[in-house]
Structure 1
Amino acid sequence: MKNIKLLKITFFLTLILGFTSCDEGGDPDPGATSVVEMAGDWFVQLNGTGSYYHLSTYNTAADNGKEMWIEDLGTFWEFKAKTPVNTNELTFGGSNLASNYEGYEITINITNATISKGTATTSGGNTSDGISLDIEFSDDAGTVYKLVGYKRTGFSEDEH
């Protein structure tokens, strides 16, 4: 008799929990950030030749479509800065952008920076988005470096 009561209570509680689960309804799609078309990991080369360096571009906390982070993850110069963006034109850049990469503080100038959809050929022969930018560092003022490359595809033949 006790077991039947316990079974009924367990069944009743299970039903209540089942009907009051965490389903909030609606569209569970969280959407995308304001710079989704410009964000990603990139493999770039100095003047389009030689060794590959890793860049990342991603949304800021403001998610306002007016700026994004760009950083080289310590692979080229050790920089990380917020840069103004034009999401309609897929361009970015600015002057005297504050850069702080793990305590290494400089300013950078980014000019002629563009992202182009589906225009780059990867080192493995695949098609990807392209990126190109000119960058100058305050600790090497007067020298402008041109970085050219492609968006990371995830294919092993394109990794560096």
Structure 2
Amino acid sequence: MKRILYCIAIILGVVIALSSCQKKIEKEYNWAYPVAGDWKLKAYIDGDEIYGPFEIKIYNTSFGQDSVWIDDYNGNFWDMKFKAKVDMSTLTFQTAGSVNAIPKYDITIKVTDGKIINKDSIYFNMEFEDDPGTIYTLAGHRAVGYDDYMQD
């Protein structure tokens, strides 16, 4: 009888030890989420669609928690990569005139009315220094978000 109890105790100990070794993985979001992500957009002028769909990426900068990079990484719409100020409490972003980080296209880019709606839609207006007076409205939805990257 002692042997049976001894074997049960060993088996129970092994089961408890193995089950306590499994870590529960908590998803950690970057401070810039839900502004950050991959976005599929269309471009409009005065309500008329002129281009799209195309993708841009928005991601955090290394300069603090007040700005993000907006990056048309493939030059699908406009060769651009620039910083915009972000307000995470209202999920809005803008820039009065940010210099394009792509040296070949050294222009300023103005963004107004930038906002994230329900964490999966985006809307903003842009004006480029080399195309003054033309306001481009970019709108679309999240193509790939943080949750998609973190899938098991």
User: What is the TM-score when the length of structure 1 is the normalising length?
Assistant: 0.66
In structure 1, give the amino acid aligned to 2:68: M
**1:94 — aligned with what?**
95
Residues 1:43 and 2:40 are matched in the alignment: yes
SS in 1 for 2:130: helix
AA of the residue aligned to 2:67? E
Computed over aligned residues only, the root mean square deviation of the Cα atoms, in angstroms, reads: 2.4
How far is the alpha carbon of 1:29 from its aligned partner? 6.2
Letter in 2 for 1:66: D
Cα shift at 1:32: 3.3
> Which residue of 2 is the match for residue 66 of structure 1?
66
Identical residues among aligned pairs (%): 32
User: What code does the residue aligned with 2:33 have?
Assistant: V
Q: Which residue does 1:56 correspond to in 2?
A: 57
| Structure 2: runs of 5 or more not aligned | 1-23, 146-152
* Rounded Cα–Cα distance in structure 1 between residues aligned with 2:25 and 2:40: 33
Q: What 5-or-longer segments of structure 1 have no aligned partner?
A: 1-26, 119-128, 155-160
Report deviation, 1:78. Answer: 0.7
Aligned residue in 2 for 1:105: 106
Q: Figure out how many residues of one structure are paired with residues of the other and give that number.
A: 118
Partner of 1:131: 122
Report the alpha carbon displacement of residue 36 of structure 1 after superposing the two structures with TM: 1.8
Q: TM-score, normalised by structure 2?
A: 0.69
Name the residue aligned to 1:84. 85
Which amino acid in 2 is paired with 1:36?
A: Y
Instruction: Say if 1:60 and 1:153 are closer, same or farther in 2 by CA, change over 3 A.
Output: closer
Q: CA deviation at 1:147?
A: 0.6
Matched, 1:145 2:126: no
Deviation at 1:41, TM superposition (A): 0.5
Matched to 1:59, the amino acid is N
Q: Secondary structure at the match of 1:139?
A: coil
